[in-house]
Structure 1
């Protein structure tokens, strides 16, 4: 039997202590994929990625499932993935992809390859003065400041021209600054889930009233989206721009510009939540794609 390791972390694993507010998504993923894996003769083993290497004995392939604290332990995470690969374990997605994808500057590579991206300024530090300068550059009244190494909108700031932070404020991390696009609150964010390079399902993610963040931690809600051929093609083009072999799984997040153009927000290939509730065939698709890799 082939053994598949699903990498989680201390705050997503049941019974490991206080869990994250979105840890229920880990439970939904496991419930979605476990029956399909059993049917495909794949033994699913859920492992804390920080466990000793001995915990991975007998594992043939690891999925970077809900390792949602990696951004705060970036170097240790990459070191562990390298160690697993050196033991002959297939790492999905591979360490090379993770290194590239872990820092949001990968979006510059996608833009250079022709992808339509949100205008972005890259800064090692952001001050109140720098935020105002970004608004002037983008000719807008609101900007979003994100960590270059981050996930789940943690630490993210929405700043407006009329309520800038104090003069001595600093963001505290290498950052990316982008104009706030009203589509996030009006239409929502479109996510396209790819398994083995093929589109599995799509969904529309909307923020809670009065917010702009679409993650469940902040009250975001999701619904099934039937993509048009043009939307599916736009997402597929982003996936094709990635300078690596086809990943086992990827989530392409896109937002519509004021002229209707779909812009890529993220190409999540490390440990993206794959929204099994909106993709009832996710488990079977993953099982088939994994069988082709082991």
Structure 2
């Protein structure tokens, strides 16, 4: 079995692709004396027990190998502490978790769900859904997302492969953007307002991972009190919420002005570390603090 390449404390789980947050996160940890090493989640012959913990960060290729990913994380979690933990990741890896949140009164965007081989009809879509977004139940970033005003085409696409979900396109996003609240170590860290997130030019290696100054529009912002209430309710409704190292809650206001939950990202969220001067340090401190706790 291959040993860790160095006497690292933490394995930063990543993928073979672009991650602009890797360097600032690792450097912030090392500034605190936490030795970190980037390791692909699917690396073979790694002695995971040589690390004190593994932090799931930019595993952005997992959706094409969903079962393999969960199996790999279970193996890693048997050998070392894993943040976020496997039960939370498994729950969050299918967007059906939004049904769980809606059932607990969280303000989730209304959704029509499909099953393998099942095909929604236009009659299944509310009449006021004049423009819709179709996305896979297992997906990341903007991959395989369709936005269209052709409701028939949306239904055909929703039946074209794996389980899909259909939601109304909230036009308020065009001027108000999508608000993302980032939580680190169980506390609110920072927030950004993003726009243009369904544009193909937003993607690199098929992944939505923007950098400041790119064509993709994201800006630090101050969320409203209702954003905090909506996000807090969602996170409190997550099974295993107390074990979260990091989380991101994405919201768009609907026509009535209410924030609606788009996603609660608990696996490998882009944390916008480059959009807040203290964000990487907060992540590093949260990791260091957890390393000081007994494993359990």
Aligned match of 1:146? 135
Q: Which of 228, 246, 249 matches 1:249?
A: 246
Question: Kindly tell me: are residues 147 and 162 of structure 1, through their superposed partners in 2, closer, same or farther at Cα, counting changes over 3 Å?
Answer: closer
How many Å apart are 1:148 and its aligned residue? 0.4
Aligned match of 1:197? 186
User: Partners of 2:156 and 2:33 in 1: how far apart?
Assistant: 60
How many Å apart are 1:125 and its aligned residue? 4.6
How many Å apart are 1:91 and its aligned residue? 0.8
Aligned match of 1:16? none
Gaps of 5+ in 2: 1-6, 209-214, 292-296
SS in 2 for 1:42: coil
Q: Which of 108, 111, 114 matches 2:105?
A: 114
Aligned match of 1:157? 146
What per-residue deviation string (whole Å, max 9, x for no partner) do you get for residues 224-245 of structure 1?
Answer: 1012333223222221121213
SS in 1 for 2:50: coil
1:77 aligns with 2:66: no
Aligned match of 1:207? 196
How many Å apart are 1:214 and its aligned residue? 9.5
8 A Cα contact 2:133 2:145, kept in partner? yes
1:232 aligns with 2:228: yes
8 A Cα contact 2:132 2:154, kept in partner? no
8 A Cα contact 2:122 2:152, kept in partner? no
User: Partners of 1:158 and 1:182 in 2: how far apart?
Assistant: 12
8 A Cα contact 2:11 2:37, kept in partner? yes
What per-residue deviation string (whole Å, max 9, x for no partner) do you get for residues 114-145 of structure 1?
Answer: 10011111101578x7352343x353222111
Question: Kindly tell me: are residues 165 and 240 of structure 1, through their superposed partners in 2, closer, same or farther at Cα, counting changes over 3 Å?
Answer: closer
Aligned match of 1:262? 259
User: Partners of 2:68 and 2:151 in 1: how far apart?
Assistant: 41
What per-residue deviation string (whole Å, max 9, x for no partner) do you get for residues 39-97 of structure 1?
Answer: 2111110001111242535211111111111011111111111111111x111110000
Following superposition of structure 1 onto structure 2, how do residues 94-109 of structure 1 map, counting pairs within 5 Å? 94-109=85-100
Q: TM-score, with normalisation over the residues of structure 2?
A: 0.85
Aligned match of 1:187? 176
What per-residue deviation string (whole Å, max 9, x for no partner) do you get for residues 214-269 of structure 1?
Answer: 95548531001012333223222221121213210001000101000001110000
User: Partners of 1:91 and 1:50 in 2: how far apart?
Assistant: 15
Two-structure CA RMSD over aligned residues (Å): 2.5
Q: TM-score, with normalisation over the residues of structure 1?
A: 0.85
User: Partners of 1:97 and 1:168 in 2: how far apart?
Assistant: 29
Q: Which of 4, 14, 18 matches 1:8?
A: 14
SS in 2 for 1:260: coil
1:223 aligns with 2:212: no
